A and B are shown apart, each in its own frame.
Chain A
């Protein structure tokens, strides 16, 4: 399973559950924009590592499920935010790490993810539930279960490199991403 396969599944399951999706900067945000692009999607263009806490701050003030998708590079940079995200998240909060072992957006330099057990870190940081999945059906099942629980779930998913050209940059100024998202949240 590659990034595009995973993000298509995540976006579809989140939409079915009436949830919001936040994607970390880089190719993950670009893929979310290209493969879903609903107003309930928030694509980060910068602030690497801050996606979980951003989403957790939002989750405190919505009754809907909130899903985070970030890569292993973002995850490793943002480990200090894991306890804060787990503590701040309210209701259904699902945090998915797509782990390709690379900083693919910057040219494929390796990360330290192969030395790190992110599931154990997430559990230690206070996530109520954790899951490690590999196949599309396992991801779907883990998401459906997590999206039905009023608590925090961390999901680790090793991914293959994604073939073909990356998706283009998010075709909206960040202020438009925020305005559109804010309006969608206010309508709900």
Chain B
């Protein structure tokens, strides 16, 4: 296999997400983003990827990039969602900033440890109350499915000039018959 093919295979997820229109990546690590972050580190994205120190800083970095014409994706675990409430409401929402939040949904259906369940269970309702559209996907789904969900959220964000969210359900919390 040539090196080009190898790189292409290694970065299939990031490339699929970029093909949906995302041009800037930032966020805070979670075990659910192992593949995404490995690929981001391996890709030659130059200015298009930067680490954040906290989730609210990631939303601010993404907002700044959007003001320069980028289409940003912010990844975080649901346990860090509380850190972005002010950035979301008093920055991204009031300034009409389309960006996509990709949230690894620990605590989904209350099937996780207590400190994840306490924010994970109301997460989708909180986003809805803030009028942030949500799209669900499995965190272990194929790259095309994850990128497709992100593309759907990006189009909703741009149509509505406000943030939209992709909720990534960890494989170990999924059960047959889930919505």
Contact = CB atoms under 8 A, between A and B. Distances in A.
A80 B96 contact: no
Interface string B89-118: 111001111000000000000000000000
Contacts of A53: 52, 57-58, 60-61, 64
Contacts of A83: 53
Interface string B47-65: 1001111101111111111
Question: Residue among A45, A85, A178 with the most chain B CB within 10 A?
Answer: A178
Interface residues of A, number: 37
A174 B47 contact: no
B20 interface: no
A81 B69 contact: no
A51 B56 CA distance: 11
Given A178-B97, A185-B69, A58 B64 contact: yes
Contacts of A62: 68
B91 A80 contact: no
Contacts of A186: 69
Contact of B67 (A47, A84, A87, A178): A178
A54 interface: yes
Interface in B65-83: 65-70, 72
Given A50-B91, A81-B57, A57 B63 contact: yes
A174 B68 contact: no
Interface in A141-175: 173-175
Interface of B: 24, 26, 47, 50-54, 56-70, 72, 86-87, 89-91, 94-97, 161
Given A42-B67, A57-B67, A175-B96, 15 more contacts: A47-B87, A47-B90, A47-B91, A50-B87, A53-B64, A54-B64, A56-B61, A57-B50, A57-B63, A58-B65, A84-B51, A84-B52, A174-B96, A177-B95, A178-B95
Instruction: Name the 4 nearest CB pairs between A and B, nearest first.
Output: A46-B90, A57-B64, A61-B68, A57-B61
